[in-house]
Structure 1
Amino acid sequence: MPPMPSDSQSDASRQTLPARLRSIGSIVGLHVKKHAGVGMVCAVAYFDPGNWGVDLQAGSQFGFRLLFVVLLAGLFAAFLQVLATRLGCVTGLGLASHCRVLLYDRPKHPLLYRWLGLYPLYILSEIAIISTDLAELLGSAIALCLLFPRLEIWQGVLITAFDVIVLLALRDPLRSTPVKMFEILVGVLVLAVLTCMVMVIAKVNVDWPRAFEGFLPSKYIFNGDGLYTSVGILGATVMPHSLFLGSALATQDRLAIEVPPMVVKLEPPSDAFDKETTSKTLTRLNRLIEFFVSLFRTPPPSQSSTQVKRHSDRENNSLAFIQAHLNHGIVDIVGSLLGFAVLINSLILMLAGVVFFYNNDGPKIDSASLFDAYDLIHDRVGASAATLFALALLASGQSSSIIATVAGQAVSEGFLNWRVSPVVRRLLTRLIAVVPSLAVAVAVGRPGIDALLIASQVILAIVLPFITLPLIYLTSSKTYMRVRRPQAAVSAAVEEDSYDNMVDYSSGMAATILGCAIWLIMLTANAYVIVTMIIEVRR
């Protein structure tokens, strides 16, 4: 029989409890102060206006029965986003930069790899970002038309064409240190979406036991229309541009106090003007002109990019950096995606189920659009609930639009080493998205806008397997995910790398198999959607 603990041992254990609580509190405080933010930024992509359209369609057709698919899509997204975070934190490079280093200068047939691998992948990534920005543009324009009924849809498109340029001009989120004001801005918009949706749900009569049953697998998922809608939820939830952005932001040192010199400061360059002379001689007008000129300057290289052409020519991040950042980053990503993205998508689907599917007043609408949802909420729930719905849609479109632009920067710099200011990048991406939106809005009106919104999600579904494949491959490879131990750094110049001197951060067999399974599910689902759409068009 083991000996009983003495009173002194019990007192010692009781005395350590407050110390443990203080330690846990300090860890939580450090996480909130330094590490929280990237998860919120990445979560925005998973409840953009494109998701709204799919969730409204699912709720209007099947009620609460496809909530399980929303949860499953959120888990898939969280898994892939964690892989992106691991890749950026361990290697110090974003996913786009890894693709360039992997495919640009192969030992054999380099031109073949570039023109058949790297450049097509870059073009697909840009198409995904433009399609994403198209959905954000349309969602924001629709929200403005709902809030201001006299506004024509084409006028809403023009207004939202230049919506967040000023916001992005304040600082560049992709430089070496995180821009907390950028993360706070995105967090405020996310909280605005969640608050508005909670207030709308509070105004409708939700059958909560039936709603929670929807998070369990249902036979309706495998019906013809149910399978098609479920595939649409999966395709609209996992966003390619968020994987690029998440891996790039994970490379930043979030514990650094001083701003590194590579960060661009919005002030006249020191080689042109002396600080003291500048403060005395420049007028306010000149300073204002200098500020706007600085917005269009080419930024310095970001932390997530590199000039090397092969992985063997560079080192991954230090073990100390990874230990200080990786777990915090994973917790931030998973908590934000499950706590915000999945919750908001679930609330949208519940709202559509209550208003369209379970409400026996008036005719049923099998496939509800954003305009239909607003009109029925206004008629059946009230004007205040409809206004909150429109405000939530506007906040979703604006926050997602900001994220798409920053992701575009990461893609262009990572794939091609092409650096451009956030304002210029925003103008280029937005102008490409404005042309089809404005043409459809003027020629067809609201029905054409709905069709264009759905088309943007189909394009994203087609691109997604091509983007996730290199992510799964890179994170499962010990070659790219190994980190040198501190004691091995001294002898690195004279000793060859061995697994004894390295710490392996690759995914492992189980995670790799799971990633491949998710990839196959997405590939099969997207192929099913495309074939189904072709059959419907031929009919």
Structure 2
Amino acid sequence: MTTAPNQTNLDLPPVDGTTTSTKKHWIDRLHHAGWTVFRHAQKHTGVGIVCSVAYFDPGNWGVDLQAGSQYGYSLLFIVLLSGLFAAFLQVLACRLGVVTGLDLASHCRMLFYDRPRHKKLWRWGVLYPLYVLAELAIVSTDLAELLGSAIALSLLFPALPLWAGVLITGADVLLVLGLGNPLHARPAKVFEWVIAVLVFAVLICMAVIIGKINVAWGQAFDGFVPSQTIFGSGALYTSVGILGATVMPHSLFLGSHLATQDRLSKNSPIPDSPLSDKVRELEPIEVASRRERSQHLGQAIWRQLQSWFVVSRAELEALNARPKSHKHRENNPLEFIRSHLYHAIVDVVSSLLGFAVIINALILILASAVFYYGSGARGSESPASLFDAHTLINNTIGQAAALLFALALFASGQSASLVATVAGQSVSEGFLNWKVSPVVRRLLTRMIGLIPSMTVAIVVGPNGVNLLLVASQVILSIILPFIIFPLIYLTSSSRIMRVHKTAPEHTDISPPAEASFLPALSSLDSDPEIIQTEDFVDFSSGKFMTSLGWLIWLVIVVANVYVLVTLGMGQDS
């Protein structure tokens, strides 16, 4: 009888002290995990959100509205496939920037500007035509973004002419000037926060609009499965437009540039400005007259304005010191790559799939539910435009939903326009090694896109804008293979993407005579795309990733050939 109480005691729950200790342990672990995620988001988030803007700009709106109004939910598969293509290529651009410390445009210059043989042939036959195509892509992007923002302003203020909306939208370059230089060695967090706010505004507005309409979600999710509708004549043409609207060439240039920035170092010196120096000089002066202080401040402001348009001696020396070939430079240190690469990949993939794909899908679902299946059905021969969508939403859903539609379109256009302006700066710096100030580069980039947009707005007017939006995206799709080719080549090259395990004493990174491949012994073993040698760590794409990249390139080329043949035969829709 004495064993029964002991057996009962064995089944009792643990004492309160043990339970409290366990709960505290798990609370501490959750608190630590939460702070880890917060610090990651604070330091590393930015590149993905900025790049994702290019994938739901007004050009996407025009193509998605046309696809949904003509083919219902059938082309949602193309939206998803294009998003996956974009994520893959953007990751390649990110890897290139983090590992090498150079952007895609600079790499193109190093590849083709100073070849050992036939230098002029490589420069004028490859490098400069590639630069012209990159600029043409930015002009096409700017055309869609400026016109899309102008349409949004016209919807918000009906009395405002379309050309005036383009002019007002073109002034957003002044906002970029006020945010500093986003392409500096350290990220401009203010610029990234502005873009993030605009991105969330688009997502929230679209989610609210979708919540107010009747969507057959079963049919919508079936649209993410490939069907025979995709291979119809007009549907395939529109599919290529979706592909060109989603995978944006200028975003690859910008993403590779932003990936070179150091997001962890706290010792980066902040360049002093003449204005701030003059203000500090004026602080201890209390006896000086107000007139003298205003004169000093005016001189300081004038110096600041001059500094915007004049390249400093340090900047000129940095431009002249740029290496002319890959064998004359070193990649980033291994420690830098380990602390940035995987964070950057997670940021890019999550932003593109979490923002760009979802927003594009919501736009196409909206067009399908309203114009194909709903009361605004108009038949496959009459695609919906941005003006049509706003009018029907206003009549069927309400004025509040129409206002949200216009605000979402405006936020999309403004954010994409800001990003395209900075991307133009990156392209001109990398390809041409321009020795002019960043302000001048941004102004020239903006004028290159502003002039044709103003011409289109004045000559064509609102009726032809939607057609031009779709056509601009098809142009981007045709240019895309020329930009993807060097990106896949560079990231698959072991000579370009390898890094010393320790800091080398020389700058020549030519391949050694013999390279014995040894099993990796560090945490990099988990990544099959990274191979370690005795002296190097190879971050180039493996056979699978390289083959996948070339397969994506081939799919885009075949689709473009089809579109060109279709246009030549006069059978486009």
Q: Map Cα deviations across residues 475-533 of structure 1 (whole Å, 9 max, x no partner).
A: 001000000012x7469999984442000100100000000000011111122222222
**CA distance 1:147–1:421, shift in 2 (3 Å):** farther
Within the candidate set 428, 434, 458, 2:474 is matched to 458
Code of the residue aligned with 2:188 in structure 1: it is V
Number of the residue aligned with 2:281: 276
Report the TM-score when normalising by structure 2.
0.85
Distance 1:34 1:449, change over 3 A: same
* Match for residue 139 of structure 1 among 143, 148, 151: 148
Deviates more, 1:105-114 or 1:364-373: 364-373
Q: Tell me: CA distance 1:524–1:538, structure 2 relative to 1, closer, same or farther (3 Å).
A: closer
Question: Match of 1:384, as an amino acid?
Answer: A
**In 2, Cα distance between the equivalents of 1:348 and 1:173?**
30
- TM-score, normalised with respect to structure 1: 0.90
Name the stretch that deviates more: 344-353 or 423-432: 423-432
Residues 1:469 and 2:485 are matched in the alignment:
yes
Residue 301 of structure 1: how far off its partner (Å): 5.0
State the secondary structure of the residue aligned to 1:204: coil
Moved more, 381-390 or 456-465: 456-465
Give the 5 Å matches for 1:310-321.
310-321=325-336
Closer, same or farther: CA 269–198 of 1 in aligned 2, 3 Å: closer
Please give the alpha-carbon distance, in whole angstroms, between the structure 2 residues aligned to 1:102 and 1:451: 37
Does residue 267 in structure 1 map to residue 296 in structure 2? no
Residue among 531, 556, 559 paired with 1:522: 556
Give the % identical residues. 57
Change beyond 3 A, Cα 1:491–1:115: closer
Q: 1:492 to 1:259 in 2, by over 3 A?
A: closer
Q: Does the aligned pair in 1 maintain the 2:51–2:254 contact within 8 Å?
A: yes
Q: Could you tell me which residue of structure 2 aligns to residue 372 of structure 1?
A: 388
Where in structure 2 are the equivalents of 1:4-19 lying within 5 Å?
none
* Contact 1:97 1:306 survives alignment (8 Å): no
Secondary structure of 1:480's partner?
Answer: helix
Provide the rounded CA distance (Å) in 2 between the counterparts of 1:289 and 1:224.
Answer: 59
Question: Counterpart of 1:70?
Answer: 79
> 1:253: which partner in 2?
262
Q: RMSD between aligned alpha carbons?
A: 3.0
Letter in 2 for 1:54: V
Distance 1:320 1:242, change over 3 A: same
Flag the structure with larger Rg: 2
Equivalent residue, structure 1, for 2:242: 233
SS in 1 for 2:224: coil
Residues 1:85 and 2:119 aligned together: no
For 2:419, give the aligned amino acid: I
Distance (Å, rounded) in 2 between the aligned partners of 1:178 and 1:392 = 26
Match of 1:27 among 24, 36, 52: 36
Decide whether aligned partners of structure 1 residues 490 and 442 sit closer, same or farther in structure 2, where only a CA change above 3 A counts. Answer: closer
Given the alignment, which residue of 193, 199, 204 partners 2:208?
Answer: 199
Aligned positions of 1:374-453 closer than 5 A: 374-453=390-469
CA contact (8 A) 1:481 1:505 kept: yes
TM-superposed CA distance for 1:92, in Å, is 0.5
Q: Which amino acid aligns with 1:411?
A: V
Aligned residues: 526
1:495–1:481: structure 2 CA closer, same or farther, 3 Å change rule? closer
Q: Distance in 2 between matches of 1:203 and 1:351?
A: 10
Q: Which residue number in structure 2 is paired with residue 345 of structure 1?
A: 360
Match of 1:485 among 496, 501, 506: 501
**Is it true that 1:324 corresponds to 2:339 in the alignment?**
yes
CA–CA separation in structure 1 for the residues paired with 2:414 and 2:509? 53
Cα distance change of structure 1 residues 421 and 344 upon mapping to structure 2, 3 Å threshold: farther
3-state SS of the aligned residue for 2:490? helix
Task: Give distance in 2, aligned partners of 1:255 and 1:275.
Answer: 29
Query: C-alpha deviations, 1:375-402, integer Å up to 9, x for none?
Result: 1111121111111111101000000001
Structure 2 unaligned spans of 5+? 1-13, 286-291, 516-532
Q: 1:479 to 1:181 in 2, by over 3 A?
A: same
- What one-letter code is carried by the residue in structure 2 that aligns with 1:293? Q
Deviation at 1:297, TM superposition (A): 3.7
- What is the letter of the counterpart of residue 478 of structure 1? S
Measured at CA, do residues 420 and 209 of structure 1 come closer, stay the same or move farther in structure 2, by a change above 3 Å?
Answer: farther
Whether the aligned pair in 1 keeps the contact of 2:248 and 2:476 (CA below 8 Å) is: yes
Q: How far apart are 1:416 and its partner, in Å?
A: 1.4
Q: Does 1:47 align with 2:56?
A: yes
Are 1:177 and 2:186 counterparts?
A: yes
